[in-house]
Amino acid sequence: MASSTFQSHESKASFFSLFLCIFIFLGSFVTTFNALESDRIINLPGQPLSPPISHFSGYITVNQAHGRALFYWFFEAQSQPSNMPLLLWLNGGPGCSSIGYGAAVELGPLRVNKNGVGLDFNKNSWNKEANLLFVESPVGVGFSYTNTSSDLTELDDGFVAEDAYNFLVNWLKRFPQFKTHDFFISGESYAGHYVPQLAELVYDRNKDRAKYPYINLKGFIVGNPETDDYYDYKGILEYAWSHSVIPNEDYDRAKKVCNFKVEDWSNECIVSMNGVFKKYEEIDIYNIYAPKCILNTTSSSAQSSGSFVSSTKVGSSVLKRVRIPGGYEPCFSAYAEKYFNKVDVQTSLHANTRGANSSVEWKVCNDSLLYKFTVFSVLPIYTKLIKGGLRIWIYSGDTDGRVPVIGSRYCIEALGLPLKTPWHSWYHNHQVGGRTVEYEGLRYVTVRGAGHLVPFNKPSEALSIIHSFLSGQDLPKDR
């Protein structure tokens, strides 16, 4: 009898434990579901009525103690989102918005139109191929914010990578249905640093599953990426000369006085490279054969006259460089700023949630961002992650003077990878789309007639590239 009573109590205890587990699980599920649904976008001003688009936006806390949060905009894939990979996109600058450029000008399904009051459907959106996630990074860009002002004085590549990693971990908690999906990282310009650095952080921490959640990283792709200061600036100078932007004497002078291998440039080099960049003021350095935008705009992406010199403090030293933003289309910058500063737009995007009358002044680029340029090459990360088996592609619009194809080719050749498939043309709509070469562990693709923003300049070709990259298929070899 005593044994029967004991078994009865044990059975009740087991039932209670099971009930408690179910209750906790359901509570956690409801909390996650509510958080997710509260980020769902409904009635975004100017959004076309068709096709239907499932999208979400809001804030993900990356540092609770500092009150630091990054803003995101997420689009489910146009078909079968449960079976499609997850693709994160980052813009560069540093200081330019992935919402304002990647999402709303380049590769998102909703593009800000030319009057800045509405949106047009982008038939070449990359969410045809993936679930598409944009984040405004680093903190201080776009709608992203911190309650600790000193954070804004600490921005460098390591800070940004750590925040991006914490964003990703916490975003996947809010959207747990994507935890097992193949995950890829993409971006352009100074995201040539952000993307491989985040990939390395994920790759390293995936090895310690007891301490960190596993993220199903498969690879990354970067466009017109800043990669290695020596090769990038060597490429800028040679491209400007070879494309008739600067005369022989400017080229010869810069070659003589500039040593791009050193971190701190001489005053003679700074003067010389300022002269090179000033020659670009008459045209668009980001797309040298395109008409220059002549809108009266104060957009921070527009080039300003005067010196382009910047300095970075590293330890007790101040390094002087000539830098202009890894930048963007100034006409559409103005349209984007007009649209994202509308109060009803910010409300629909859940971007003004920090109290009453909290509308945010949104800028496409934060030109007052104090960024410390402390990493001069990410090529060692490429070597490491190629050995780690990640899928890695680089693409270049071949009319970009800011991060030209010449510099990127130098960077890739410096890796010393064995050749797998020689340089050849790839085709799109029966025409040469560009050229491509494949090495062991890395593919390089050029896009004929595209500038710095390949998905904006050549949207159909860019969609073809991302399809091949994500699917693991080759680019079309025949006309």
List the catalytic residues. 189, 400, 452
The size of the chain, in residues, is 479
The structure tokens 């593919």 sit at 443
**Residue 62: φ, ψ to 5°:** -110, -15
Residue 29, C-beta contacts closer than 8 angstroms, at least 6 positions apart: none
Maximum Cα–Cα distance across the chain: 105
The Cα–Cα gap between 28 and 275 comes to 60
SS3 content of the chain, % helix, strand, coil (to 5): 40, 20, 40
Amino acid letter, 324:
I
DSSP per position, 199-237: HHHHHHHTT-TTTS----EEEEEEES---BHHHHHHHHH
119 contacts 44 by C-beta, under 8 angstroms = yes
How many CB atoms neighbour CB 181 within 10 A?
Answer: 20
Helix (H) or strand (E) holding 30: helix 2-38
Q: Which residues of 137-156 are buried (b: 16+ CB within 10 A; e: fewer)?
A: bbbbbbbbbbeeeebbeebb
Task: Measure the CA–CA gap between 126 and 130, rounded to whole angstroms.
Answer: 6
CB 393 within 8 A of CB 469: yes
Q: Cα angle vertex 397, ends 408, 392, to 5°?
A: 55
The Cα–Cα gap between 344 and 342 comes to 6
Number of other residues whose CB lies within 10 A of the CB of residue 374: 15
Q: How far apart are the first and last CA of the chain?
A: 86
C-alpha to C-alpha distance for 360 and 69, rounded to whole angstroms: 14
CA 77/CA 125 separation, integer angstroms? 10
